[in-house]
Amino acid sequence: ILSEGGIGTNRGVTIAGDKAFMVTDHAHLLGFNRFTGEKLWDAEMGSHLESYSSTSPPLPVGDLLVVGVAGGEEGARGFLDAYRASTGERVWRWYSIPKRGEKGSETWIGQALEHGCGATWMPGSYDPQLDLIYWAIGNPCPDIAGEERIGDNLYTSSVVALNAKTGEMKWYYQFTPHDTHDWDAVQPMLLVDEIWPVPSAVEGRGKPRKLLMHGDRNGMFYVLDRTNGEVLLTANLSTKVTWHKGFTSDGKPIVDPASIATKEGIAACPGGGGGANFQATSYNPITKLFYARVSDSCGIYTSHDDPLGVAGNRWFGRGTPSEQARKQLADLMAGYQAGVFIRAIDPFTGRKVWDLPAPAGRSGVLSTASGLIVLGGGGGLLVVDAKSGKPLWNVNIAQTTQGSPMTFMVGGKQYIALPGTSSITAYVLY
């Protein structure tokens, strides 16, 4: 492990044509011959001496590989790179944190801008018709202490839409302005083409829209028009959300000042784990439901004066809460049924349809055309009815799940595979 930012984490490989690609924990992107294992090229994205790392495989877009960096607790300035898959040549770079004087830098008042983080550590999504890449941006730094970064802190805790060929930003939407909770916004961006309801006494029906659905760690669920970033719907994903007082007419959250971290500590909902986290979410076009692993929780957020921008040091800005903050948390949690759930949301209304206590683990969810929800956890593989949330069967795989399930076809048979602690377990469906 060369960079503390990566902590030795690697979330997989990308297969494209006759090549395979992976990142390293010291922020290199490697290209291989997928059949022989021969290394074809090695591109350095950033120096591990500046706390750069990379943890997730690149997104293939034609002959380009779009890839992000980790280091969002170490003061590394976030960026996205695009490389030629054939040669490893860098084509463009887009920074998630503006330089002083650039557009967006006015949302950073204080000394934190130069090490503002905004890591790009989870893969994005691509729409080939619009030729746009959608990428989620991580938290600002320091994570909890906001005193040296007064303002919205663009483009952290946001989704950005970039031109795939040039890296030029077309639009952005910030889920959590001035995030002092380490919520990020790196949860999956689901690209959905659907009929979106349009209230009209004349038409009485919706129209085709290119949508982006997103369940955030801040406890909220969002539907955006992915052509222009227009906010179509905001709704609670977590049962209790206290950090905002509503949304403006154009969809910007109205942050409650009482939810911003202080040195004495404040209690707010959700807790640090969300909401939804980075595990897979799913939309099923048959049931018309959005599915996610969701935490109902609250937490204490206490800021602390950590040294600014010391490369290689964790830069949380997190302090010890006061007794008053602990009492505030107890009051928030009184009578609240906290826990982790598999939750089904109607994305057209924001209504919660059903809840199921989630098994232990960090697995995301997979939904199928046959009306099933598949997830791992508790040492097993759980299958649930997608319409009702009723558990159907559970298979013990005798190991902790380390990722989300996937499905694929081989020889006319459908398989479901689930990564565990030391192996991958696959089942064939008859």
In angstroms, the CA 377 to CA 267 distance is: 29
For 213-257, the pLDDT digits (tens) are: 999 999 999 999 999 999 999 999 999 999 999 999 999 999 999
Q: What is the dihedral of CA 365, 348, 247, 123, to 10 degrees?
A: 30
Token pair for 287: 């049931």
Asked if residues 167 and 92 have their Cβ atoms less than 8 Å apart, the reply is yes
Residue among 422, 412, 424, 353 nearest 384 (CA): 353
We find that the CATH architecture of domain 360-430 is Beta Barrel (2.40)
pLDDT tens-digit profile of 252-290?
A: 999 999 999 999 999 999 999 889 999 999 999 999 999
Question: Residue 2: what pLDDT?
Answer: 46
Please write the tens of the pLDDT for every residue from 125-137: 999 999 999 999 9
Domain spans in the chain, listed from the N-terminal domain onward? 360-430
Mean pLDDT of all residues belonging to the chain:
93
Residue 309 or 429, more confident: 429
Please report the pLDDT score of residue 135 as a whole number: 98
| pLDDT at 361 > cutoff 90 | no
Query: pLDDT tens digits, residue range 55-109?
Result: 999 999 999 999 999 988 888 999 999 999 999 999 999 999 999 999 999 999 9
pTM for this entry: 0.94
Convert the pLDDT of each residue in 373-408 to its tens digit: 999 888 888 999 999 999 999 988 888 887 899 999
In three-state form (DSSP H/G/I as H, E/B as E, the rest C), the secondary structure along the chain is: CCCCCCCCCCCCCEEECCEEEEECCCCEEEEEECCCCCEEEEEECCCHHHCCECCCCCEEECCEEEEECECCCCCCCCEEEEEECCCCCEEEEEECCCCCCCCCHHHCECCCHHHCECCCCCCCEEECCCCEEEEECCCECCCCCCCCCECCCCCCCEEEEEECCCCCEEEEEECCCCCCCCCCCCCCCEEEEEEECCCCCCCCCCEEEEEEEEECCCCEEEEEECCCCCEEEEEECCCCCCCEEEECCCCCEEECHHHCCECCCEEECCECCECECCCCCEEECCCCEEEEEEEECCEEEEECCCCCCCCCCCCCCECCCCHHHHHHHHHHHCCCCCEEEEEEECCCCCCEEEEEECCCCCCCEEECCCCEEEEEECCEEEEEECCCCCEEEEEECCCCECCCCEEEEECCEEEEEEEECCCEEEEEEC
